[in-house]
Amino acid sequence: MSKVACIGECMVELKQAQGIQAGLFSRGYGGDTLNTAVYLARLGAGTDYITALGDDPLSDEMIAGWAAEGVGTGWVIRLPGKLPGLYLIETDEKGERRFFHWRDSAAARSLMDLPQTAEILNSLAGYDVVYLSAITLSLYGAAGRTRLFAALKRARENGARFAFDTNFRARGWPDLDVARAVFQEAFATADIVLASTEDLLPLYPDMTNEALLARIPGAEVVLKLSEPASIVRLESVPYPIKAKPVEAPVVDTTAAGDSFAAAYVAARLVGADPIEAARAGHRLAGIVVCHPGAIIPRAEMPSGLIPNHANSRKASP
């Protein structure tokens, strides 16, 4: 079984009820890379989640939930006296969400500065794919990111692939210049870049799709567009991909990108070419947005999503 390491943060989620109960909130948990880890595990990839949590009951609940989904928790570091971050969400009538965060002292932000950090970073060389997002990188300071990038480069020398998701949230960065510099280092290091115009245009305003792709030097790049489509660029050749129309009503766009990433990586791990992998990503994302919340019921997971390949095939449109 292929092994994937997902690095990031999971937070306590408070979701506002609708209608006459609008003053009430339900509690769950969520985070971009955690959502991807869950979908990867459901799609058959051996998946570990790497993060730090507190020693509180909410952290206990998170770990139990991840384990129930088949996500490995051996690299979840527990920090005495710390807590996970917290966010509150509001969802409008179109399924779009607004977030409010309390996370400055969250345990996950310490991951690159712990006694266990060196062991964690050395372990990355044992995975087939290491996956993280721009949100992950925003958690750590400059020194922590330097340690992480150095470990990613060592892991790649040992055969691991680094998949970078451009999930961008401006509030996580001190300024856009810092974010741009970190993005460029991630682009230069990554084997697979999963980007979107929604993420990149705030950093590089008014650029065309072609110009955005030109900023990313990697050989395997996916640029998701504002419409249900993407461009897969392989060895400098762009291939446009159209997603099948979503037939059911869109109720919540949470985890659309996270589930796309999971299906893409899972498909690539079994030998699907990037074109097939992008189509799998669009299909899963199209199902996820028709359900409330980031993680859909197991019964709603589509069958036959991941192509059954023994070996990679040459990409074709």
Q: Return the active site residues.
A: 258
CA dihedral for 265, 287, 70, 7, sign (positive or negative): positive
Q: How far apart are CA 189 and CA 183, in angstroms?
A: 10
Q: How far apart are CA 191 and CA 219, in angstroms?
A: 7
Q: How far apart are CA 257 and CA 98, in angstroms?
A: 16
Neighbours of 120 (CB within 10 A): 20
Neighbours of 59 (CB within 10 A): 23
Question: Contact 209/225 with Cβ under 8 angstroms?
Answer: yes
Q: Report which residue type is found at 139.
A: L
Largest CA distance in the chain: 57
- Which whole-number Å values give the CA distances from 101 to 141, 148, 150, 189, 203, in the listed order? 19, 24, 30, 29, 21
> Rounded to an integer, what is the distance from CA 40 to the centroid of its chain?
10
